[in-house]
């Protein structure tokens, strides 16, 4: 174990999210699967990542594409078998990669045996595995809580006349984490997977397991009148009672005791948009890392980027999981202007994230500089879009990975794929491998230099005075700087330094005391005695 009480291997790692349905199709049915992941592990090792995070592969009716779990210790036939997972773990370890799997503890599928038993009668032994309540005084839901995916967070079950809670789809009933039996069930589930050799867990909705014991109404922040998008409706409410309850920390402290036995990592999807609140969710003795999602929502200005990075660094230090994309959000290239402009900006932000304490994560295709893939209206599958008029949904960031030339750009040999291939051949891995100036090679070079430069024991960061358009910090002997402006900016570094990495253009092997950064360019500077990497 390291001095910060977590797996030694985690301290310098870079993670990579594999959205299994869209990564690689190994059996030719148009849906990505575990054999498809196995086929591309060498690519991930070549890229230079350390952790491979696999999205849920458990048996599921796929109402939310695997985040509605019907069996926490199996593999859905559409994704393969337990033997396929074993092969992935074995090969990944041979390649020096760690495998982190997605666990979904906030809710199960309505088809899970626990819920089927729970809904059968009020006095069933599994009733308290979920959150059931009588209707409110008006006969409607017990409180005013909303679902992330649209509508009330309660559904009336006609069998017993009570409502059950679901912060997501009605097909995803929330588990009752105030029930010790639920806690014990999951401790055993963790051991099942750790005994199979996985190296840790990415924990879905990690901030929301425990709910207010009295199920009090949430305060409203603004009127919902005229708002139809489910996500904006959810944001109209102060989630004081359905999210981030302090008792949740007790759960992760018990999980940590098991993780420590296996030298495993606990990585939380902590959708908390205040840095101090994130620090409270990741105090150091439970989750090892909590994702910081504010970069997915910030504007492209120095005034937005600087505090977004500095506040999380100051509050959470090396327990931050740095992300700028995922399977739930529009890709950063699209958010930051699209095309070459969006790619320059996304790469520039990556340079800063790779230099800060914490664990950066790349979402599949981010290393290719992909923008959102085009999905026609008649091909939309995400329930956020199909069940809510006015909601865009998440299909655009989930289109299949483009691997090379030919049908479906190498993703699948099937006549059609579960989502259309949303990109051109020029974006593919094969095309970018052949171009030494491609986005893929720039990301690979960035990961390589990070591995050489980062001292995990150096967690202090000095934010530097710069012209308004720049964001710069010093960590150890190295300086990381980004120009978020639209024009070139000259900056006096203060002492002689060499440029070790540039997000645009070639490097010069000349020590300088000032640098001129083009618009959206990022640099890594090192001591004058350092050579160009």
pLDDT for 281-305, tens place per residue? 999 999 999 999 999 999 999 999 9
So what's the pLDDT on residue 32? 98
**Mean pLDDT in residue range 42-54:** 98
Phi, psi of 6, deg, nearest 5? -145, 170
Confidence bin at 2 (pLDDT 50/70/90): very low
Q: Give the mean pLDDT of 105-123.
A: 98
**Measured distance CA(185)–CA(176) in Å, rounded:** 12
Rounded to whole angstroms, the Cα distance separating 46 from 502 reads: 21
8 A C-beta contact, residue 405 and residue 428:
yes
Does the active-site annotation cover 64?
Answer: no
- Pick from 165, 187, 202: which residue ends a domain? 165
pTM flag (> 0.85): yes
For residue range 177-235, list pLDDT tens digits in order: 999 999 999 999 999 999 999 999 999 999 999 999 999 999 999 998 888 888 889 99
pLDDT, residue 531, reads 55
Question: Catalytic: which of 90, 94, 261, 303?
Answer: 261
8-state DSSP, 514: E
pLDDT for 530 equals 64
Distance CA 38, CA 85 (A): 9
Q: What per-residue confidence (pLDDT) applies to 506? A: 76
The tens digit of pLDDT for each residue in 246-260 reads: 999 999 999 999 999
**Residue 117 resides in a domain:** yes
Residue 397 and residue 474: Cα distance in Å, rounded?
A: 33
Contact predicate 259/265, CB 8 Å: yes
pLDDT band at 389 (very low <50, low <70, confident <90, very high): confident
Point out which residues pair with 160 in neighbouring strands. none
CA distance 93 to 114: 34
3-state secondary structure 364-379: CCHHHCCCCCCCCHHH
**CB half-sphere exposure, 335, CA atoms < 13 A:** 19
Largest CA distance in the chain: 77
Lowest mean pLDDT among 122-126, 392-396, 446-450, 478-482: 392-396
Is the Cβ–Cβ distance between 507 and 463 less than 8 Å? no
The pLDDT score that the predictor gives to residue 502 is: 96
Beta bridge partners of 463: 473
Whether 121 is covered by a domain: the verdict is yes
Where in the sequence is the domain holding 145, given as residue range(s)? 113-165
End residue of a domain, out of 165, 187, 209: 165
Does 2 or 477 have the greater pLDDT score?
477
Which one is catalytic: 25, 50, 174, 204?
204
Provide the 3-class DSSP secondary structure of residue 360: strand
Residue 391: its pLDDT value, please? 79
Average of per-residue pLDDT across 313-330: 97
Q: Considering only CA atoms, which of 358, 252, 366 is closest in space to residue 309?
A: 358
Q: Report yes or no on 53 lying in a domain.
A: no
pLDDT category, 533, cuts 50, 70, 90?
very low
User: Is position 129 within any domain?
Assistant: yes
Question: What percentage of the chain carries pLDDT values higher than 90?
Answer: 91
493-520 pLDDT per residue, tens: 988 899 999 999 777 777 888 999 999 9
User: 163 and 132 in contact (C-beta within 8 Å)?
Assistant: yes
* Spatial separation of the C-alpha atoms in residues 118 and 164, rounded to whole Å: 10
Domain membership of residue 21 (yes or no) is no
Q: What is the mean pLDDT of the chain?
A: 95
Residue 375 lies in a domain: no
Reading the block at residue 118, the tokens are 């729970």
- Cα–Cα dist 441/480, whole Å: 19
Dist. CA 454–CA 354, nearest whole Å: 9
Q: Is 326 left (phi over 0), alpha (psi -120 to 50) or beta?
A: beta
Number of domains in the chain: 2
β-sheet with 512-517: strand ranges across: 462-463, 470-475, 478-483, 522-527, 489-502, 512-517
What is the pLDDT at residue 47?
A: 98
CB 165 within 8 A of CB 145: yes
Distance of CA 473 to the CA centre of its chain: 25
482 domain-assigned: yes
38 is a domain residue: no
pLDDT at 439: 98
The answer to whether residue 438 scores a pLDDT higher than 50 is yes
**CATH number for 484:** 2.60.40.1180
State residue 434's pLDDT score.
98
Q: Residue 499's pLDDT is what?
A: 94
pLDDT given for residue 392 in this prediction? 82
Asked if 51 contacts 100 with a C-beta cutoff of 8 angstroms, the reply is: yes
Q: Residue 237 carries which DSSP code? A: B
Catalytic residue check, 261: yes
Res 494: pLDDT:
85
pLDDT at 4 over 70: no
The CATH number of the domain where 146 resides is what?
A: 3.90.400.10
Q: Distances in Å between the alpha carbon of 431 and those of 83, 220, 362?
A: 33, 50, 20
449: CB partners within 8 A, 6+ apart: 500, 501, 524, 533
Is residue 1 scored above 60 in pLDDT? Answer: no
C-beta separation of 97 from 49 below 8 A: yes
Length of the chain: 533
Domain boundary among 148, 165, 182: 165
């Amino acid at each position: 174990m390291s001095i910060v009480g977590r797996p030694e291997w985690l301290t310098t790692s870079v993670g990579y999210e594999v959205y299994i349905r869209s990564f690689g199709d190994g059996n030719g049915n148009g849906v990505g699967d575990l054999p498809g992941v196995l086929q591309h592990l060498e690519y991930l090792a070549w890229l230079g990542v350390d952790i491979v995070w696999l999205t849920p592969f458990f048996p599921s009716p796929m109402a939310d594409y695997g985040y509605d779990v019907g069996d926490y210790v199996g593999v859905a036939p559409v994704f393969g078998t337990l033997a396929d997972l074993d092969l992935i773990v074995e090969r990944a370890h041979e390649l020096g990669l760690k495998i982190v799997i997605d666990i979904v503890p906030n809710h199960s599928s309505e088809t899970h045996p626990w819920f089927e038993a729970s809904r059968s009668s009020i006095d069933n032994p599994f009733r308290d595995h979920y959150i059931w309540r009588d209707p409110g005084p008006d006969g409607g839901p017990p409180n005013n809580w909303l679902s992330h995916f649209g509508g009330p967070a309660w559904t009336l079950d006609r069998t017993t006349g009570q409502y059950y809670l679901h912060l997501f789809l009605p097909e995803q009933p929330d588990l009752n984490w105030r029930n010790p039996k639920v806690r014990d069930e999951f401790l055993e589930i963790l051991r099942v997977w750790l005994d199979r050799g996985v190296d840790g867990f990415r924990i879905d909705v990690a901030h929301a397991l425990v709910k207010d014991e009295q199920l009090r109404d949430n305060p409203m922040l603004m009127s919902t009148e005229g708002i139809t998008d489910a996500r904006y409706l959810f944001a109209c409410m102060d989630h004081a009672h359905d999210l981030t309850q302090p008792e949740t920390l007790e759960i992760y402290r018990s999980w940590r005791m098991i993780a420590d036995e296996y030298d495993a990592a606990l990585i939380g999807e902590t959708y908390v948009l205040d840095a101090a609140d994130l620090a409270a969710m990741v105090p150091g003795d439970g989750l090892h890392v909590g994702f910081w999602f504010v970069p997915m929502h910030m504007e492209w200005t120095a005034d937005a980027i600087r505090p977004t990075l500095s506040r999380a660094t100051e509050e959470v230090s090396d327990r931050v999981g740095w992300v700028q994309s995922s399977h739930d959000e529009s890709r950063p290239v699209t958010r930051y202007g699209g095309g070459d402009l969006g790619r320059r900006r996304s790469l520039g932000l990556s340079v800063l994230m790779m230099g800060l304490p914490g664990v950066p994560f790349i979402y599949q295709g981010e290393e290719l500089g992909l923008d959102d893939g085009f999905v026609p209206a008649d091909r939309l599958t995400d329930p956020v879009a199909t069940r809510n008029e006015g909601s865009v949904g998440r299909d655009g960031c989930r289109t299949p990975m483009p691997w090379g030339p030919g049908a479906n750009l190498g993703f699948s040999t099937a006549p059609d794929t579960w989502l259309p291939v949303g990109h051109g051949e020029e974006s593919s891995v094969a095309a970018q491998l052949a171009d030494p100036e491609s986005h893929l090679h720039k990301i690979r070079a960035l990961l390589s230099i990070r591995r050489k430069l980062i001292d995990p024991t150096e967690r202090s960061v000095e934010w530097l005075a710069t012209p308004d358009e720049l964001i710069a910090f010093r960590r150890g002997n190295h300086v990381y700087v980004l120009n978020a402006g639209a024009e070139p900016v000259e900056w006096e570094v203060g002492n002689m330094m060499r440029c070790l990495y540039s997000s645009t253009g070639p490097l010069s092997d000349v020590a300088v005391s000032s640098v001129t950064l083009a618009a959206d360019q990022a640099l890594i500077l090192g001591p004058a005695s350092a050579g160009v990497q």
